[in-house]
Structure formats: C-alpha cells, structure tokens
C-alpha cells in the first residue's frame, strides 16, 4: 500500500475502532489464486467507501457503499458529535450486545443468524456491503491474485 505523500504505508494489525466502515481483503500472490475483498458494515458505519479493482482486475466487481447511512441511523445505534449530528452508526451487535445481533452462541451459524431489522437498514442503503456476519452471498467478491485495488473514501 502506498500514500502519494508519504510513500509506503503499513498497518500494525490493530484494525479500526468501531463503528467503522471497513475495506477487507484476503490477498493471493499473483497467479496463485483469487483475492477476496468486501466493504463491511458489520462493525458499523462512519463514512462511505468503495473498492475498485485496477489493471488486469478492471473487469472485477467494484463494491461500494456510497450512501450516507448516518442519515437513516436509528437513535439507539447513533453516535453523535458535540453539535448533536450523527457522525457514525453502530452495528446492533456493538450497540446492543445481544447474541442474535452478534451471531454468537445459539445464533452462531448462518442457519440460526438471519438478517435483522437493524442489519437490513445497512443493507438497504448499501446493497453490496456486508451488513451482518453471514452476508457472504451478496457481499463477498473475488478477483485474480495480484490485482491492485483503489480504495476511495467518500466516493
């Protein structure tokens, strides 16, 4: 990963502090398999994001969450700034910490953890993004290993 102003950028593996819109990748070496990638709202939403495969991957799906989910965020999930405006939207798991929203315990499989009314708010706004733990069918994308990706914040 590179930054036009600072050169190479590396991550320390700590991840984002929720609620946060995530770009997630599992990368394969060039010629040795498929990359998997997605836009995830499983940890909540804080800003719109898109992933665009580049070069040889230009024919691959470019998932995006361009909507402002904050504008439809239920009050029980909302994170408000000092002026009272919604600046982020927690996932139901983060806000309510219940197994049916976190897909844990008795709800720990795709069969026992369906989408909820809360996850559907995220899905309605961003159909290509993961809205809950088992949202693979409409939200996980793949492209040839070695593809480059452009991540755009606030597309």
Domain residue limits at 24:
13-153
Q: For each successive 10 residues of the chain (155 residues), what is the average pLDDT?
A: 51 78 93 93 97 88 98 98 97 98 97 98 98 96 94 96
Radius of gyration of the chain (CA): 16
7 domain-assigned: no
Report the CATH number that the domain containing residue 26 is assigned in CATH: 2.60.110.10
Residue 100 lies in a domain: yes
Q: What's the confidence (pLDDT) of residue 3?
A: 45
Q: Residue 62: inside a domain, yes or no?
A: yes
Would residue 8 count as lying in a domain?
A: no
Inside any domain, residue 4: no
Q: How many domains does the chain have?
A: 1
Annotate 72-108 with b (16+ C-beta within 10 A) or e (fewer): ebeeebbbeeeeeebbbbbbbbbbeeeebbbbeeebe
Residue 57's pLDDT is 75
């Amino acid at each position: 990963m590179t930054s036009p102003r600072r050169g190479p950028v590396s991550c320390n593996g700590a991840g984002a502090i929720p609620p946060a819109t995530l770009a997630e990748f599992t990368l394969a070496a060039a010629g040795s398999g498929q990359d998997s990638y997605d836009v995830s709202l499983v940890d909540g939403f804080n800003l719109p994001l898109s992933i665009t495969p580049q070069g040889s991957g230009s024919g691959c799906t470019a998932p995006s969450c361009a909507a402002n989910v904050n504008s439809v965020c239920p009050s029980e999930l909302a994170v408000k700034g000092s002026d009272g405006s919604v600046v982020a939207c927690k996932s139901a798991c983060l806000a309510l910490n219940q197994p049916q929203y976190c897909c844990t315990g008795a709800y720990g499989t795709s069969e026992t953890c369906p989408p909820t009314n809360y996850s559907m708010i995220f899905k309605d706004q961003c159909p290509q993004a993961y809205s809950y733990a088992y949202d693979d069918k409409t939200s996980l994308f793949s492209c040839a290993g070695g593809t480059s990706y452009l991540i755009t914040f606030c597309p």
